Structure 1
Amino acid sequence: MRNHSHSRSRYHVPMSQISDTLDHAATIIDTTLAHILEETQKYFSDIAGFPVEFLDSLYASVNGGKRFRALSALVGASVTVDGDFDRAINVKHMSHLTTALEFYQAAALIHDDVVDHSPTRRGRPSAHRLFAHAHDDEAWLGSSDTFGESGAILLGDFLLACAEREMTYCPAKVAEHFASMAGEVALGQYLDLRSAQQEPQGDSEALELAHTIIRLKSARYSVAHPVSLGAQLAGAPDETVQQLLNAFEPIGIAFQLRDDHLGVFGQLGDTGKPSGGDIIERKRTALLSLTLAHAPDHVSDTIRSIYRQDTLSAGDVEAVTEFVDAYGRDPHEVLIERFYAQGISVIEKMHLPSHARKLCEEFAHLLVWRTQ
């Protein structure tokens, strides 16, 4: 592959202590999640009991991950308390909001893996494969694949109920905001599913659709809504909540565009997905649309021909990866830079204490310029 370098010195922010601060906060979030999971297990065990395979899949789905959504909520709350992360963690009902976000994230990933027929998640078998393996181990009747997908859908539904339960502790306005976010994700997921049934294109309409899907199912849900939810819970004025939503939506788009980059060029040890995973799943990403837009006609025709196949060989994945590297990678990086700069510009114009502004800028940088 070619050597790619992109200057971003204008927007580079030294990480200083933010990584350590976020790691500390993630540990607290993990501890809280573990405690609530234990309480949940006890509650339902007293009623009906937990089948061991359901419980194993539940813990496997919730454990792990970088807790970006919960951390985003803490960043938003920190803006309201002068950039003080310790005070943000102790905002009333913050533990319920961060737990709800992580339960919802786990549910969304479970359902996403079923839709995408993805066998792995974070380097381990995905939930529907864990259920299928349990079916095989017990030599039950029927199809293990069907059982696996059905079990995973129900596990996802269970986690959605757990998230909703946590949100009942939060003010009604915050809970309503959370519900709107969940509706956006479902619509975005459907648009993503729908686009995957159509011939991949490289025109402006295809790129706009890719951006719409990113906004709904990832950018606003993964970053913008959690940040603004945290601020809202901490008592920020409506104007500040909206400004944070406006600032972190383009940051969230850049975050997802980086994820799409890693979905092609990332390594299993870093991403938990095989290299070329998005190609294997034939995702209609902005990266693919840009590749088709900039590639010669015969290359675009080859990519479309490959994407029409029922299954892709290792050679097919390697060929598309090389095409993306040659024609889509550079314009995609330019797009990432553009959205990142747009978000930083909004943050710079907000009337925030210097420490709070610095926290927002450092967090944005961490989200976008990552390798995992």
Structure 2
Amino acid sequence: MTTWDPADFRDRVQQVLDAFLDDREAELAPLGPDAHRLVGEARTAVRGGKRFRAAFCHWGHRAVRPDVVDEDALARACAALEVLHASALVHDDFMDASDTRRGRPSTHRAFEAEHRAAGWDGDPVQYGAAAAILLGDLLLGWAEDMLRHSGFGPDEVAPGLALFEQCRNEVIAGQFLDVSVQARGRADVETAMTVLRYKSAKYSIERPLHIGAGLAGATPEQIDQLTRFGLPLGEAFQLRDDLLGVFGDPARTGKPAGDDLVEGKRTVLVALTLDSAPQAAARRLDAALGTALSPADVDDLREIIEDSGARAQVEAVIGQLTERAVAALRVADVDDHARVVLTELAQAATQRSV
């Protein structure tokens, strides 16, 4: 049995996104060149990436309904999750003051640079901030539009929309938890895990599975079974992201070395380090978070994290969560082909280097 071609799937998702934005650009054409610039930045925001959210939506659907009735409708519904993701990234980069995304200037920095190059009135930083907020809001609205008008009938799309609304609410509230934690300048492991779960884990894997399954007419029990697979896997996925945010190769991640340390993110990795490192080292890490760091500073903080055993702890937890997820999938009432592909996706999501 052949499993799946992820590269072909990613290409299909991009084609759907391009067509959707072509239509949006035509709608906004009467607004003139500024609207063209806004849609152009939307195209950048939805370009590239691993497409995990779309993939888990697709295979959540096929787990319940192996014979897809309308491939085009399903492709549009899956792509809507990538528009939601793009919205979250645009807002997240602004809130974290991130300069880059996937090796390119983040949205607020790109608009800031345009303002400065044109010599316009006002503050270019404020202009970039305003543009990023507006684009993120627009993408959020477009994500729901794309799902609502994906091509599923009203009765079919309604469960998917209800689950999408839960996903949207969770990720926004989770983002607020995150910025509040950063503002307080402290987070124990339990608090960091709560942020991780609601800001990223649920909307990255669990909710896309639910939305795809909901569009297929899943029963409450099937949704529960997908949660037992998707939630621990989403947590493992984000823990891997946290490791990459500190130890990832900038050439592969598209982010500067130790970017999470510079941004001051109070992740599970950081919380474990502060619990386990010698007092002086823990104080040094705590004081350095969220400050300008030289490459030597980043190396020093990485060494503190490594020596504390926190990196090894997180690796172990990733393995445990992935095993729990795959074990739950093994006994779930889902299509066997979907089970094989979801198992492959679980490994790809948790053992990646980007």
Band the TM-score falls in, shorter-chain normalisation: over 0.9
- Matched residue SS, 2:255: coil
The answer to whether structure 1 residue 233 and structure 2 residue 215 are counterparts is yes
Aligned ranges for residues 124-273 of structure 1 at < 5 Å? 124-169=104-149, 171-200=157-186, 206-273=188-255
Distance across 1 between alignment mates of 2:88 and 2:288: 28
| 1:326 corresponding residue in structure 2 | 307
Q: Which amino acid aligns with 2:317?
A: L
Q: Which amino acid aligns with 2:63?
A: V
Q: How many Å apart are 1:198 and its aligned residue?
A: 2.4
Change in 2 beyond 3 A, CA 1:156/1:89:
farther
Distance across 2 between alignment mates of 1:314 and 1:89: 53
TM-score by length of 1: 0.88
Change in 2 beyond 3 A, CA 1:117/1:89:
farther
- Matched residue SS, 1:274: coil
TM-score by length of 2: 0.93
Aligned length: 346
Q: How many Å apart are 1:166 and its aligned residue?
A: 1.5
| 1:4 corresponding residue in structure 2 | none
Structure 2 unmatched ranges of 5 or more: none
Give the fraction of aligned pairs with identical amino acids, expressed as a percent: 34
Q: Which amino acid aligns with 1:152?
A: A
Q: Which amino acid aligns with 2:120?
A: W
Q: Which amino acid aligns with 1:81?
A: R
Distance across 2 between alignment mates of 1:88 and 1:131: 41
Q: Per-residue displacement from partner, 1:5-46 (whole Å, max 9, x unpaired)?
A: xxxxxxxxxxx965x61111111111111111101100111x
Distance across 2 between alignment mates of 1:34 and 1:57: 12
Distance across 2 between alignment mates of 1:58 and 1:363: 27
| 1:56 corresponding residue in structure 2 | 40
Q: Per-residue displacement from partner, 1:201-257 (whole Å, max 9, x unpaired)?
A: 5xxxx1111111111111110111001111111222221122112211000000000
Query: Over aligned residue pairs, what C-alpha RMSD do you find?
Result: 1.8
2:327 corresponds to which of 304, 320, 345: 345
Contact 1:344/1:361 (8 A) holds in 2: yes
| 2:295 corresponding residue in structure 1 | 314
Distance across 1 between alignment mates of 2:141 and 2:231: 27
Contact 2:51/2:82 (8 A) holds in 1: yes
Distance across 1 between alignment mates of 2:216 and 2:321: 27
| 2:353 corresponding residue in structure 1 | 371
Q: How many Å apart are 1:313 and its aligned residue?
A: 3.3
Contact 1:53/1:134 (8 A) holds in 2: no
Distance across 1 between alignment mates of 2:286 and 2:291: 12
2:73 corresponds to which of 93, 110, 129: 93
Contact 1:76/1:229 (8 A) holds in 2: yes
* Structure 1, 50-59 or 131-140: larger mean CA deviation: 50-59
Distance across 2 between alignment mates of 1:92 and 1:236: 20
Distance across 1 between alignment mates of 2:269 and 2:79: 32
| 1:22 corresponding residue in structure 2 | 6
| 1:44 corresponding residue in structure 2 | 28
Q: What stretches of structure 1 move > 4 A for 4+ residues in a row?
A: none
Q: How many Å apart are 1:108 and its aligned residue?
A: 0.6
Distance across 2 between alignment mates of 1:174 and 1:107: 19
Contact 1:119/1:125 (8 A) holds in 2: yes
Q: Per-residue displacement from partner, 1:34-92 (whole Å, max 9, x unpaired)?
A: 111101100111x423414323312111111121111110111121234xxxx549457
Change in 2 beyond 3 A, CA 1:335/1:301:
same
- Matched residue SS, 2:184: coil
Q: How many Å apart are 1:310 and its aligned residue?
A: 4.4
| 2:101 corresponding residue in structure 1 | 121
| 1:295 corresponding residue in structure 2 | 277
